[in-house]
Structure 1
């Protein structure tokens, strides 16, 4: 019987190698999503809530505002549309993303 020993660096290398296919898949999904978003007419950064609602109509859902407890944590609002989600800091767009069916866009209760 031969003795087999693996050093810590070798274990780390094996662990990274095993995770690499998942990381590559995640990178590809992210790249595809960014390309798809670039081809869509999403609300632009800096648009006001009124401008977004005027151009895209009323959202399906307006979630309760979050944050606002300190200057470092401004009020963030989220509006859900059928195919995208808009995030506002105070009353201006900071980001708009596709609403993917991946299950990671579960919404809390909406505000009417």
Structure 2
């Protein structure tokens, strides 16, 4: 009896899905004006591969530190205007705050 209900439910779902008109999927597009994009080559921010010691020596103590979490251990250091992400003791990425 349960098998029959399951089969009937599956067939009903299949029939309903096959009879509905197919609509294409849509995605929103995010446009960032060129004038508001940061020119990272001209900016003075921590670069990938820098050590925690070199970041601390250049930019000082961070406002806050989160982590490390996970494996490999990932940490983030917040500075005014940007956040630096580390894997173990090396920079993997720097993210600018929205206001900059």
Fold similarity call, TM over 0.5: yes
Corresponding residue for 2:14?
Answer: none
1:99 and 2:97 equivalent?
A: yes
Runs of 4+ in structure 1 displaced over 3 angstroms?
30-33
Q: 1:85 touches 1:96 (CA, 8 Å); kept in 2?
A: yes
Q: Which of the pair is proportionally richer in strand?
A: 2
Structure 1 residues 32, 76: closer, same or farther in 2, change over 3 A? farther
- The TM-score, its normalising length taken from structure 2, stands at 0.66
RMSD: 2.4
Q: How does 1:31-42 map to 2 (within 5 A)?
A: 35-38=37-40, 39-42=42-45
Structure 1 residues 53, 30: closer, same or farther in 2, change over 3 A? farther
Corresponding residue for 2:76?
Answer: 78
Q: Which of the pair is proportionally richer in helix?
A: 1
Cα deviation, residue 64, structure 1: 2.4
Q: 1:37 touches 1:98 (CA, 8 Å); kept in 2?
A: no
CA deviations 1:62-84 (Å, max 9, x no partner) are 112111xxxxx300010000100
- The TM-score, its normalising length taken from structure 1, stands at 0.60
Q: 1:59 touches 1:81 (CA, 8 Å); kept in 2?
A: yes
- Provide the rounded CA distance (Å) in 1 between the counterparts of 2:45 and 2:80: 12
Corresponding residue for 2:61?
Answer: 58
Structure with higher Rg: it is 2
Structure 2: gaps of 5 or more residues: 1-19
Structure 1 residues 57, 66: closer, same or farther in 2, change over 3 A? same
